[in-house]
Amino acid sequence: MDKWLKTPWFIRVISLLLAIGLYVTVSLNEQNATRPDGTIFPKTSNEVATINNVPLQVHLDEEKYVVQGVPQYVSVSIQGSTSVVEATARQRNFDIFVDLEGLEEGTHEVKVQHQGISNQLSVQMEPETLEVTIEERATSEFKAEVEMLNYEDMDDGFILGEPIISPETVSVTGSKSEVDKVAMVKAIVDLTGVTDEIDIRNAPVKVYDQQGNELNVYVNPSTVHVQIPLEVGRKEVPLTYTTTGELGEGISLESISLEQDTVMVFGQAEVLNGIESIDNLIIDLTNITEDKTIELVVPIPPGVTRVEPITVNATINVEPTETVTIENIPIQVTNLEDGKTVSFIEPEEETVAITVFGTAQQLKDISEEQFSASINVEGFFNGEFETVIDLKGPDGIMMKPNYNNARVRIE
């Protein structure tokens, strides 16, 4: 035994074990110096983390209902071991939700719930409960109009044309009470800095009530395409009309008056320079049987971008037809060749009687001096000929002669 203890290998093994023991003792003393409780072995750490802006899901029959009072995001605080807390905060592989399934319309207090968070963690949400209002869902179609901002900042030389919106209508979805309040649907266009034709492909759509308050509803599409041409000139021109068709038997035209006799045309200067009036406004008398006011669309001349107003009212007054006969109107002969003579075969008297139709007011001052009759024999040679009797009388008066044609002999 003594011999074995004195061997070099035994001394080396004992030295190694003593060195290891000394190292362990020194290391534990240094670690324990940093621990408040002075324990030798480390404890598992406990960490708290707050995760902000976590989307809040809503479990609801969205085909039937909408809900108010639900925030878009909540904050989630988790507490537990460092490794689990850090992994959960980093991955966010969990859901935060309120379950409204099975609840009827009305106001309810509901708990904010979570799913997918480790049961090793304690969880607290802010807010923990919500007061929500469930209402019947409604959807309606509305025509969108353009609302222009900062119009006063535009150059005075620019004139805005008629806006073109695509699509023209949008769907508004929300609670029935909110949708019922919709009074205006506006596509917002900011005119600041505009120097050319406006072409905005994503103009935001806003929905307002009668008082101009923006409503909390969903709009589809939420943006629209708005185009507004810029016009560089305008010109006021006279507006006149022509009539077509005839009034029915027994009534005569007393008067036609336009709501206004001038309109404003818009367009490029070179186009406006060639426009002196709009005279192709057509009034059809065919179906007029009594005094009537009709709305007419103002024709837009070629090259003009628009007219204002786009329609005018025309007031048509009619009266029962009366007649007056003017006798013995002499028939004048025009363009007879020198040295020729003409004699009338029919009518022998060389006169016509003209029956005049009109209202009592129109016929009140009718006289023989206002009428004339003539035939044109230019190019006629010797012989007998029939030619049209040309009548002249006051404008707007209907006339009917007892002879439409005259038969004459030229020698």
Same fold, 47-136 and 234-320: yes
- Does the structure show a pLDDT above 90 at 362? no
- Does the structure show a pLDDT above 90 at 252? no
Q: What is the pLDDT of residue 7?
A: 63
Token pair for residue 13?
């093994």
Fold classification of 47-136 (topology level)? RNA Polymerase Alpha Subunit; Chain A, domain 2 (2.170.120)
Q: What is the pTM of this model?
A: 0.41
Taking the domain 322-410, which CATH number applies?
2.170.120.30
Q: Which residues make Cβ contacts (< 8 Å) with residue 410, sequence separation at least 6?
A: 336, 340, 341, 342, 377, 380, 381, 382, 383, 384, 385
Mean pLDDT of 320-347: 89
Q: What are the structural domain ranges in the chain?
A: 2-32, 47-136, 144-231, 234-320, 322-410
- Does the structure show a pLDDT above 60 at 108? yes
Question: In the chain, what percentage of residues exceed pLDDT 70?
Answer: 88
Confidence grade of residue 51 (pLDDT, cut at 50, 70, 90): very high
3 state SS of 15: helix
Tens-place pLDDT, residues 182-209: 999 999 998 887 767 788 899 999 999 9
Domain 144-231, CATH number (from 3.40.1190.20, 3.40.50.10090, 2.170.120.40, 3.30.1310.10): 2.170.120.40
H or E element: which one contains 402?
A: none
| Cβ atoms of 39 and 32 closer than 8 Å | yes
Confidence grade of residue 32 (pLDDT, cut at 50, 70, 90): very low
Confidence grade of residue 25 (pLDDT, cut at 50, 70, 90): low
- Does the structure show a pLDDT above 80 at 15? no
H or E element: which one contains 196?
A: none
Q: What is the pLDDT of residue 5?
A: 54
Fold classification of 234-320 (topology level)? RNA Polymerase Alpha Subunit; Chain A, domain 2 (2.170.120)
Which range is least confidently modeled, 16-25, 182-191, 266-275, 401-410?
A: 16-25
Q: What is the pLDDT of residue 31?
A: 47
Q: What is the pLDDT of residue 215?
A: 92
